[in-house]
Structure 1
Amino acid sequence: MSSNRAANTSVDVPRGLAGVVVTDTELGDVRGLEGFYHYRQYSAVELARTRGFEDVWHLLVHGELPDPAERADFTRRTTGLRRLPDAVRAALPAVAEATGHSGPLAGLRTALSLLGASLGFRPVYDIDADRRRADTLAACAAVPTLLTALYRLEQGLEPVEPREDLGYAANYLYMLTGSEPDATRARAVEQYLISTIDHGFNASTFTARVIASTGADVAACLVGAVGALSGPLHGGAPSRALDTLDAIGTPARIDPWIRERVLAGDRIMGFGHPVYRTEDPRSRMLREIAQQFGGPLVDLAVEVEHQVEAILAELKPGRELHTNVEFYAGVVMELCDLPREMFTPTFAAARVVGWSANILEQAQDSKIIRPAARYVGPVAPVRVPQAV
């Protein structure tokens, strides 16, 4: 296409594609002005309150919530995929040693590539819908096993083999700690996982869909999504929000600490969201879960939330800024004894299901995602100088 033709067909859009609709989806939506988001036709928060992880996974993959027989069959299929191929398991110590300074999420990129090659994943362009679905189920089931094994290896511990008699969240905690979790903590983590499975066309989900539009295999799509999630502006905030609470320390320090940062124009981690203009519904639910545990950390978090909103109303009138999912997610995970370096990997253990559903949906469209850029460099063409 000539430059003139490209210029005539180009469309200017906001920076970061903010608000730009790039495709249709049946998977869900985020309605930021209402403070509401959903998976297919159901409120995501209501699903987190009332259903188990496998039910919601089934909903995104198959388009409907399972009946008891379908739940049993789906659970049997996915729990049977948790164990890693021998070649992948044997390679994990080397992966953990090479990426240990960067954490399990960095190792997951390599491990997913190994998994896809070991299981014979083929380009989604070349396989039918059933095989695509099978590949995503295998990848999603293996991600918690990969993440917990990499973490334990980095800590000098042996990986813990998965159990098929535990639900997705309980098995994740079991593989992480080596001990079966109590029901309260397992359910709290499960509700967090359900609430973060999908959330519109965020950066990592869009990345997965761009790669899927090329026809690449499921592992390649997921590796790209993990890379996007690893950025601190996307998936790295739960532990940073908890660091804010640590820095404040006591209720008496909240006001001066927050005022200093607001007046300096600094970002307060755990507050604000690019889509929501009201309270983040995930944060509301996680606050309730945290308050069921109670304790000094929860009391401090709630007081910080109240004072930040009050100080902003005073110093920045008209500026709405509420807690986002990361603020209370960090509190809940801390209360459930997850190490902070596993906060973002735990997010990935949930979001891999949403990524996979988006990969399956994108694979039905044969059109590659190929936007344009405006060239702003030196005027071309300029004669190339002869080499001296």
Structure 2
Amino acid sequence: MPSTGSPPRQPGEPIVVPPGLSGVAVTDTTIGDVRGQEGFYHYRQYSAVELAEQRTVEDVWHLLFEGELPDAQQRAEFVRQVRPMRHLSRGVRTALPAIARTRPAPLDGLRTALSLSGAADGLRPLWDLDEPARRADALRICAQVPTLLAAQHRLGKDLEPVPPRDDLSYAANYLFMLTGEEPSEQHAWAIERYLISTIDHGFNASTFTARVIASTGADVAACVVGAVGALSGPLHGGAPSRALDLLDAIGTPERIDSYLREQITSGERIMGFGHAVYRTEDPRSRLLRETAHQLGGQRVDFAVEVEARVLDLLAELKPERGLYTNVEFYAGVVMEDCGLPREMFTPTFASSRVIGWCAHILEQARERKIIRPGARYVGPPPPQPVPASA
């Protein structure tokens, strides 16, 4: 009978995978997952959306690091442990103005500040540490990232950094450090929801980057610096402000249809719609739409109207695409309503995602094996004679 299928793979021959590793599972994890066909994602065994509705950032942080949600006593102990870690060493505080002058974008400055902070705090390679020491380093980095981001933002505006307050929650403290004013309960609640909803989201590019670096045994700061670099790319973390730009470009309800039809028919991407994994509505979008509704205001009403027309027109003009609202659309609306400037939208994303990165870093460090895939060479066939120099 004639043979069917591909020839057997030879020993040492790399497995050919889809571009971008789409659909490829590269490891096992207990941290969480995204089920794109269902429009569902979870942290450990709990719905991430339900956690955002019912718990605090510090509860979910405990869940990802310790494997369980804390009871009242565990919560109090965890808070007592991590909140003092928000404070930066004197050497780092002294260097921040120079970093802000040379790297004015807070996310760019964060990479430099994290490298400095890791060195100043004496972070050692993961390979050389036991589990408690790795956990302590990860906790410290998670606690310091919001402080570093807020300080970089204020220094870039020629304002003095605002020291963290140990009596405020994760979200309220972050807003306080940015503005110098204690936020309203409603704004702290809304940002808390956003932060929890973005703590982790499967093996996205920045999380995978953090795990690759962790597999080399590097220190936690180095792993997070790499993750921040991946997040800074516009295809990953740079879209919340661009979704607001869409609302600004439309301007008034009368322009919604004409503007959107022109954008869609010309092939322009509609920011805030479509996702690499979800094939139905992004569950984070539902959560943040509800959050925006509770904040209220004309901007929210306009966003709801635009969203409805985008979905109708996409269904009419691009029925084969199956695009739905993603997290960025309402994330921008919520953050703007809570007083965050647009240049801080992606950094705010990083201020929560660092918790997910560090949970993955700790999990990867237990593997004690470097991630070292191969590549399929497709250049000119070697070996060829080296031409003589002219």
* TM-score class normalised by the smaller sequence: over 0.9
Verify: 1:43 aligned to 2:42, yes or no: no
**1:59 counterpart letter in structure 2:** L
1:3-22, aligned counterparts within 5 Å?
A: 8-22=12-26
Give the match's secondary structure for 1:9.
coil
- Native 8 Å contact 2:215 2:371 kept in 1: yes
Give CA deviations for 1:225-249 in whole Å, capped at 9, x if unaligned. 0000000010000001110110011
- Distance, in Å, in 2 between the alignment partners of 1:6 and 1:166 is 59
What is the number of equivalent residue pairs in this alignment? 382
Secondary structure of the 2:164 match is: coil
> What is the letter of the counterpart of residue 65 of structure 2?
V
Work out the percentage of aligned pairs sharing the same amino acid. Answer: 69
User: How far does residue 8 in structure 1 lie from its aligned partner after superposition?
Assistant: 4.5
Task: Pick one of 107, 126, 129 that aligns with 2:128.
Answer: 126
Q: Which residue does 1:116 correspond to in 2?
A: 118
Scaled by the length of structure 1, the TM-score of the pair is: 0.97
Partner of 1:332: 334
State how far apart, in whole Å, the 2-side matches of 1:139 and 1:83 are: 11
Rounded to whole Å, the distance in 2 between the matches of 1:111 and 1:7 is: 45
Partner residue in 2 for 1:263: 265
In the alignment, residue 46 of structure 1 is paired with which amino acid?
Answer: E
Q: Secondary structure at the match of 1:37?
A: strand
Counterpart residue type for residue 161 of structure 2: P
Is 1:33 matched with 2:37? Answer: yes
Q: Which amino acid aligns with 2:121?
A: L
Partner of 1:186: 188
User: More deviation in 315-324 or 43-52?
Assistant: 315-324
Mapped partners of 1:294, 1:163: distance in 2: 29
Give 1:318 shift. Answer: 3.4
Q: Which amino acid aligns with 2:111?
A: R
Alignment correspondent of 2:309: 307
1:86 to 75, 83, 90: 90
Alignment of 1:189-228 (within 5 A): 189-228=191-230
Equivalent residues in 2 for 1:284-295, closer than 5 Å: 284-295=286-297
Structure 2: unaligned runs, 5 residues or longer: 1-8
Distance (whole Å) between structure 2 residues aligned to residue 338 and residue 178 of structure 1: 12
Note the C-alpha offset of 1:319.
Answer: 2.5
Superposition deviation, residue 379 in structure 1: 2.0
Distance 1:119 1:365 in 2: 25
SS at match of 1:38: strand
Q: Distance in 1 between matches of 2:369 and 2:362?
A: 14
Q: How far, CA to CA, are the matches of 2:11 and 2:253 in structure 1?
A: 57
Partners of 1:335 and 1:133 lie apart in 2 by: 35
For 1:352, the equivalent position in structure 2 comes to 354
SS at match of 1:33: coil
Q: Which amino acid aligns with 2:219?
A: D
Residue 377 of structure 1 is matched in structure 2 by 379
Is 1:23 matched up with 2:27? Answer: yes
Which string of whole-angstrom CA distances, capped at 9 and with x for unpartnered residues, describes residues 141-192 of structure 1?
0111100000000000000000000000000000000000000000100000
